């Protein structure tokens, strides 16, 4: 049983110009590569953590509503704990992405438009129990595997155009 409790409901939800504001992250770690001839930096392979969707096939990155009593960075870190059961160092914003939610239409956002701020999260701890572990499983994947299994086009874009470019420019500083 998990002592942490996931936030629910829309009372504290932030909106801007008819869009629901969302915060999330791309959790990642480094795995030592054992392959001969591997061209990864320093023999380390980047893996990203994805979670199962509660609404169908495919995998997702943790994300959810940004609430009035927290910063966008706090919301992104909270979603990582609630949905994926991980904690770490929240690094840079890798991008902002607009998408249309089929399941989150309400009086403030009747079209279901959302704007997500996505961050890189360097994972330092995987929790044994977390709030949504009964409804979500987590899986570590290489970047190509994640691209192949990603449920939403905007999340693929966040991974390929946001995270990968960020990692190429700044993430390599973490490898030492």
Query: pLDDT tens across 123-135, in order?
Result: 999 999 999 999 9
pLDDT (tens digit per residue) in 92-115: 999 999 999 866 555 555 577 899
Q: Is 87 exposed, middle or buried (0-12, 13-18, 19+ CB in 10 A)?
A: middle
pLDDT at residue 7 is higher than 50: yes
Q: What are the tokens at 96?
A: 């902002």
Domain-by-domain residue ranges, the chain?
15-171
User: For all residues of the chain together, what is the average pLDDT?
Assistant: 86
CB-count exposure of residue 126 (10 Å: 0-12, 13-18, 19+)? middle
What's the confidence (pLDDT) of residue 38?
47
Whether 117 shows a pLDDT value over 70: the answer reads: yes
Q: Which CATH number fits domain 15-171: 3.90.79.10, 3.30.420.340, 1.10.1200.10, 3.20.20.100?
A: 3.90.79.10
Query: Is residue 42 predicted with pLDDT exceeding 90?
Result: no
Q: Are 115 and 98 in contact (CB under 8 A)?
A: yes
């Amino acid at each position: 049983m998990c002592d942490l409790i996931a936030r629910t409901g829309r009372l504290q939800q932030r909106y801007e110009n008819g869009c629901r504001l969302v915060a999330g992250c791309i959790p990642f770690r480094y795995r030592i590569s054992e392959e001969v001839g591997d061209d990864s930096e320093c023999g380390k392979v980047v893996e990203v953590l994805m979670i199962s969707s509660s609404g169908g096939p495919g995998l997702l990155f943790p994300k959810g509503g940004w609430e009035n009593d927290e910063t966008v960075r706090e919301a992104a870190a909270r979603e990582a704990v609630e949905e994926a059961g991980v904690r770490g160092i929240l690094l840079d914003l890798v991008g902002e992405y607009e998408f249309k939610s089929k399941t989150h239409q309400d009086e403030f956002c009747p079209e279901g438009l959302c704007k997500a701020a996505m961050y890189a999260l360097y994972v330092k701890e995987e929790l044994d129990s977390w709030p949504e572990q009964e409804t979500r499983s987590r899986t570590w994947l290489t970047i190509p595997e994640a691209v192949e299994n990603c449920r939403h086009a905007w999340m693929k874009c966040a991974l390929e155009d946001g995270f990968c470019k960020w990692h190429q420019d700044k993430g390599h500083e973490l490898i030492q």
